[in-house]
Structure 1
């Protein structure tokens, strides 16, 4: 099943099922967050009428209480940063206010001159739990989507903590669709990113150092995972900061993150004040 979050004609939040490019609104549920049981989403009836997906204003596919981001989780990215392979996941937070939907503008803040892209597989939790055992971890997943973990590098490296480079408002696209867990093998997906049509990143999720099950087990050890929480699983090599010459996002750029079995997350970059 493929789901999207969007605004209806009255501006209200809605959740819909995608079928052949048409979105049929779900009855009785309009969001994916901790207030909604995953069964309510999966079992909800859809209205008979539909709207073309391309005609909708999409929202982030989930409304997470917590967003966990994983750094240094692909060997190619670790190599380009000239660091040692981690023995334990590097984690940092983002916030719900950072997220935007597919098609929305990635906002360039005037304070940063080094805004970078990062293609990532995103995991959306569907069953809450604490201290989840690795062997049961994938049973807690509602589905998978795409993220661009946009990063302000000049702020990221002001200190040893990365949060101030990662948690800018209106910077992080999540979507366009959520593909339910029964349709996806998260360990065998092609992942890549294009900037203005040029390939910048290309890899596979089978090259993760810590797989999805391990990331769920690790994060749930210190906090309770709730429905709608999101885990961003890290980015492969090819980020702009590590290129020679370096590549950073600029006003008018178009960034596309593509993951096999899910689709393409496309956003335009706009300077703050120019975003629409």
Structure 2
């Protein structure tokens, strides 16, 4: 990407979009454009068309999405399917119409089958049934990946998809009803410490294994892909390492300094048993993550909750 190129970052207020902006600014890019959801409703076809007609960006990072944890995905299935489909359709199509040089679509590791062979290779997409609790979101993201592929095939576009693993970092969502597991645990253990509680209740059995990537590492990977990769294969982005939820809870308990116990709520769903991405492809291209999990969580905890300590 040329230093003077006009770059559109959709979803710039979110965790991923804001991290991409931080990375681009650190690399010397200044011609960045973005809009809040109030300024531009990306589910609105005409509004999105007018924006692209007016701004005509050279490059697009498609990070806008409706996101949430297990409970939100399960409860708001129609919204997750409709809103994500509309956002993707509008941004990808208008990027084609207004001749965007390159687009990076951020999908999700939940696109892969629930009982996929581990670690999960990019080629395992559509090889089995999805996890029911986030099926609607996953189907929307799969549609976005296929839209990029087909626009490449039919129109010769340079539209690339990337599948990040579970993310955490600045601007994460800490609402216990809608957040993902890592920020939810951080908030629970911090509150328990401040309230001097005897224990913290955690969903499920603790047995499932998950991979976690700091969002600054993801933003670095996105920048790397836009600079270095023009292939047609979608790319997994992760660490290549995973941890059980039980181990994660214990790690977060230690980082927060909570001294009480952990109670497991076996009436709550575990979700997919394991979800570890095979990141050999992006490693071969030359990108690797920088922050290890303990260091990353400690950094996030200090930044987010230091005022309460």
TM-score normalised by the chain length of structure 2: 0.27
Larger RCO (CA within 8 A; separation ≥ 6): 1
Q: Report which of the two structures shows the higher radius of gyration computed on alpha carbons.
A: 2
**Larger % of strand: which?**
1
TM-score normalised by the chain length of structure 1: 0.29
**Larger % of helix: which?**
2
